[in-house]
Structure 1
Amino acid sequence: MTQPEALTTLPRPASTTEAIRLQLRSWPEVETYLQDCKGVIVPLGSTEQHGPTGAIGTDALTAEAVALEVGRRCGVLVTPAQAFGMAEHHLGFAGTVSLQPSTLLAVLHDVVLSLARHGFERIFVINGHGGNIATAKAAFAQAHASAAARGLPQAERLRCRLANWFMAPPVMQKARELYGEREGHHATPSEIALTLHLEPSLVAKQRPLPTPAPAGPIHGPEDFRRRHPDGRMGSDPYLASATDGALFLDLAATALSSDLERFLAEEA
């Protein structure tokens, strides 16, 4: 089968992140872009506690940063970040803002359909929060069905893919090398390191912390707060550094750029 020209011809990489931010483009510019590339990146994060020293916006900050770097390298447009995710189990900590799974599903469903309506055929969601994974995959399935039911011309060619930057093999390997078991499962030094690289003011929050509660089952916000009183799950974010964060950004962007290029070149 011959691959569609619009999907196999990648645009030249943009020189700045400003050039690939969808919110800084005009609609005629987007129409012109679609003549050469049908791909778009959607950063997906969460607004939730990250232990006593981590930024509440960690998951959104990191997802957007990785998405912008991937977009810059590949010349692919990046939408504004969806900063609210499914974080119900963190609602026992002040500042957390959560969407119910059904709400997040509806948001992602509508985002995909909006993009597909205009001619985007490859929706690459770069995710920064594990709690979003199941809902995002369900939203993709529903969006595919809705696109077909509504008779969108792009329905048969529409593809969605979830890329969790923190689960990219090079990122996980480097986190194990640097932090071992102290990487933990939430408020990890790898994700905190990336925020320190992105926002230097966060370095001032860093301080030694007592031994964290280990990872365990999650049965709701009150239960989570009881089991993990300071919000961490086996992690030691004090190990994080801005230098490590720059490394994680490069590792994640390199791995996901390759994934995106393969995704764009796939047959419909």
Structure 2
Amino acid sequence: MIPNSKSIELKYKTWVQIQTYLTKSDLVIVPIGAIEQHGMSCPLYTDALLAEYFALKVGFDNNVLVSPTIAVGDSLIHLNFPGTISLKPTTLITVIKDYINSLYIGGFRRFLVVNGHGDNYGCILAAFSELGNELSGMRYFVKDFWDFPSFREIMQTEFGDSNGGHADATDASILLAIDDTLVNKELLSNEFAKVSYWISRDLVNELYTKSGVINANQKLASAVIGDKLITEAVNGYSKLLNELTK
């Protein structure tokens, strides 16, 4: 997705190359996403793909290593939709802890976590809370890509209240900007839940969604808007990287 991204991807390096990198920097970018339904128009890999894309773009622009994506997240509520793969929150916390601890043992101390799935956020913070108690000298940011003020301003301006749920026009717009073959435009949906309270998985199709889209109008999506959103997310993450280097 990012030309020449192999130059900053940890998985393509040898341990000797990592050792050399660590003599100059102990900073690494960690993308975390999910494999879950995103309506009838967008791929199961959407959350992981977006987290990975932003991580690689920011890493390449700033010459910072990017670790392999933790692709599976907490997607329990979407398991009624075929293809969704989920970890329990307790499992995800353990996975993140083991993953980050491995990087820490290898010499990394500064972590920028690019999160692409909202339900992961609490698990990530819980994992880092425990890691922060167990490990010394660690610095980190955990940030959802949609949580930068300038990013949210574009979402509100372009989509208004028809955005911000699940599988929304924001996700679809960014996918269109990255590679429009990833989106089946003819199947973009507009669907809002019947209730506002949280429900158990057996009630998802009855009260939340038939298509998989929840509280969003995907039909407002466009690649032009996606490009604007990408710019704001990349700029936001780059500023966080600069903070971590201080």
Please tell me the TM-score bracket, short chain as reference: over 0.9
Equivalent of 2:108 in 117, 120, 123? 120
SS of the equivalent of 2:184 reads helix
Q: Which has the larger radius of gyration?
A: 1
**How far off is 1:136 after superposition?**
0.5
For residues 31-180 of structure 1, the aligned pairs below 5 Å read 31-147=19-135, 155=136, 157-180=137-160
The AA in structure 2 aligned to 1:114 is S
Equivalent of 2:204 in 219, 224, 227? 224
Equivalent of 2:220 in 239, 249, 253? 239
Distance 1:180 1:217, change over 3 A: same
- Structure 2-normalised TM-score? 0.93
Unaligned runs of 5+ in 1: 1-14, 148-154
The AA in structure 1 aligned to 2:89 is P
Distance 1:77 1:214, change over 3 A: farther
Q: Among the aligned pairs, what percent are the same residue?
A: 32
Number of residue equivalences = 243
Distance 1:208 1:112, change over 3 A: closer
Partner of residue 235, structure 2: 254
The AA in structure 2 aligned to 1:76 is V
Deviation string 1:144-202 (CA, Å, 9 cap, x unpaired) is 2333xxxxxxx2x1123211101111111101111111113111101111112223212
- Determine if contact 1:213/1:232 at 8 Å carries over to the other structure: no
Could you tell me how far apart the structure 1 residues matched to 2:110 and 2:125 are? 15
The AA in structure 2 aligned to 1:254 is N
Bigger CA drift: 233-242 or 194-203?
194-203
Could you tell me how far apart the structure 1 residues matched to 2:188 and 2:127 are? 40
Could you tell me how far apart the structure 1 residues matched to 2:93 and 2:134 are? 13
SS of the equivalent of 1:181 reads coil
- Structure 1-normalised TM-score? 0.85
The AA in structure 1 aligned to 2:225 is D
Partner of residue 10, structure 1: none
SS of the equivalent of 1:182 reads coil
**How far off is 1:246 after superposition?**
2.1
**How far off is 1:206 after superposition?**
3.7
Distance 1:206 1:247, change over 3 A: farther
Unaligned runs of 5+ in 2: none
Q: CA RMSD in A?
A: 1.7
Equivalent of 2:11 in 18, 23, 32? 23
Could you tell me how far apart the structure 2 residues matched to 1:215 and 1:76 are? 43
Structure 1 residue ranges (4+ consecutive) displaced by more than 4 angstroms after TM superposition: none
Partner of residue 150, structure 1: none
Could you tell me how far apart the structure 2 residues matched to 1:124 and 1:89 are? 27
Distance 1:210 1:159, change over 3 A: closer
The AA in structure 2 aligned to 1:191 is D
